[in-house]
Amino acid sequence: WALEEVGQPYAVRLVSFEAMKAPAHLALHPFGQIPTYEEGTLALFETGAIVLHIAERHTGLLPDDADARARATAWLFAALNTVEPPILELANAKLLERDQPWRAQRLGLIDDRIRARLDQLSRRLGDADWLDGAFSAGDLMMVSVLLRLGGSGLVDDDPNLRAYVARGEARPAYQRAFAAQLAVFTAASSG
């Protein structure tokens, strides 16, 4: 999505779980995960680092004003370090702890933590379209993180955040990136 926002061409390479643990991929991502990003001789891992790099190299995702730029960067980190951790915890609990007798109680606690974060985010967003003025890398990351809650009803319960995510998904760059990703997965599954 970031590359679509800044109008840069890209190619997607799917990596199997087996390939993620192979030496070639470990040279790009020492933890054997995705995503990775390659640009010439530069190889990056971690979504936030990749988005920040793209935003710093190309116009469109960071404001020109230094203070606004710093705030956009702070929102990028907030998405990944403050909002996303309980969301990932929820996904892991649902997948990996389904047979545990304490699962229902744990899910309730995680749900409460997520709702608290979403309430804080919604209050901060207020009536604004974006987190700090114009759309930025911070919004791109925050919307991406909130999309992980799709189907849970947690974002849908807050009209403000529901509209915020919808604005992100309505962006032409998001639409192009989503269509391109769908085409890659469709080709991979039919081939």
What are the DSSP calls for 44-97, one per residue? Answer: EESHHHHHHHHHHHSTTSS-SSHHHHHHHHHHHHHIIIIIHHHHHHHHHHHHH-
pLDDT, residue 191, reads 65
- pLDDT (tens digit per residue) in 146-190: 999 998 899 999 999 999 999 999 999 999 999 998 888 888 877
pLDDT, residue 187, reads 82
pLDDT, residue 3, reads 97
pLDDT, residue 184, reads 85
List, for the chain, all residue ranges whose pLDDT scores fall below the cut of 50. Answer: none
